[in-house]
C-alpha cells in the first residue's frame, strides 16, 4: 500500500488579471519522491509552487499538507532584509531542535563564511546562502524554484550530490535540463492551466510530451 502524500494539491483554480492561470491543476508529492515541474515560461510553475508552500491562496481547490511535515521553500528572489550576516539568515531558517552546526557546515561547503553582509552579496552568493537556509533543517519537503540560478558548474554538481544524499521529498523547477535529468524520478507538465503527470524523470519528458 502506497504511503499517503505529504502534499496534495487538487483541482486548483486561480485567475490573474481576468485570465485563468490554473483550471484544475494537480500536484502530489510522496515521501522521498523527486519530482520536476515543467512548462513554458509564464505557465504558472512558480505560482503553483507558492501555493504548495502556502504563500499564495488559490481561488478554488484543495491544498493538503500533512500536519507533521516540515517544509522549506526556495524562492527565485530570497529576502535578506533584517539580517546582519549570512549566518543569521541561515540560522533563522532552523526550527527548534535543528542542529546549528549543520547551518555553519553548509555555509562553508557552499563557499561562504557566514560573516558576509547580505546587502553586498553577488547573485551567486545570495543563491548559496538561500540554499544553505533551506537545506540546513533537512526538511521532509523541499520546494526549489530555480536552485541553480547564478551558480557555476562546480557548485551545481556539488548541489546535485547534496540533494541526492537527502531524505527529503523534492519538487524542482529549473531551466538546467541536465540537473533535472539527474535528479527527477517523476515529471509534472503544466500546460494551459492543467497538469499531466509522467511517472518518469525529465529525461523521458520530451518524447512523452510529443506523443
For residue range 98-116, what is the model confidence (pLDDT) as tens digits? 888 889 898 998 889 999 9
pLDDT tens, residue by residue, 112-121: 999 999 999 9
CA distance 121 to 115: 11
What is the structure's pLDDT at 211?
86
- For residue 169, the model assigns a pLDDT of 97
- What is this structure's pTM? 0.94
Sheet holding 169-173, edge to edge: 71-74, 141-145, 169-173, 34-38, 186-191, 194-198
Amino acid at each position: 500500500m502506497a504511503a499517503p502524500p505529504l502534499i496534495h494539491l487538487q483541482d486548483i483554480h486561480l485567475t490573474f488579471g481576468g485570465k485563468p492561470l490554473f483550471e484544475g491543476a494537480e500536484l502530489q508529492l510522496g515521501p522521498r519522491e523527486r519530482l520536476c515541474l515543467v512548462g513554458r515560461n509564464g505557465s504558472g510553475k512558480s505560482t503553483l509552487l507558492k501555493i504548495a508552500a502556502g504563500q499564495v491562496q488559490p481561488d478554488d481547490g484543495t491544498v493538503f499538507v500533512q500536519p507533521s511535515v516540515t517544509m522549506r521553500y526556495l524562492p527565485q528572489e530570497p529576502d535578506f532584509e533584517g539580517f546582519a550576516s549570512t549566518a543569521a539568515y541561515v540560522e533563522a531558517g532552523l526550527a527548534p531542535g535543528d542542529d546549528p552546526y549543520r547551518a555553519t557546515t553548509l555555509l562553508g561547503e557552499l563557499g561562504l563564511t557566514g560573516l558576509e553582509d547580505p546587502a553586498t552579496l553577488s547573485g551567486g552568493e545570495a543563491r548559496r546562502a538561500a540554499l544553505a537556509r533551506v537545506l540546513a533543517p533537512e526538511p521532509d519537503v523541499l520546494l526549489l524554484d530555480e536552485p541553480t540560478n547564478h551558480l557555476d558548474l562546480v557548485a551545481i554538481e556539488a548541489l546535485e550530490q547534496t540533494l541526492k544524499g537527502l531524505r527529503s521529498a523534492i519538487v524542482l523547477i529549473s531551466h538546467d535540463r541536465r540537473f533535472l535529468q539527474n535528479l527527477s524520478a517523476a515529471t509534472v507538465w503544466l500546460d494551459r492551466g492543467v497538469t499531466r503527470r509522467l511517472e518518469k524523470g525529465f529525461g523521458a519528458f520530451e518524447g512523452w510530451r510529443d506523443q
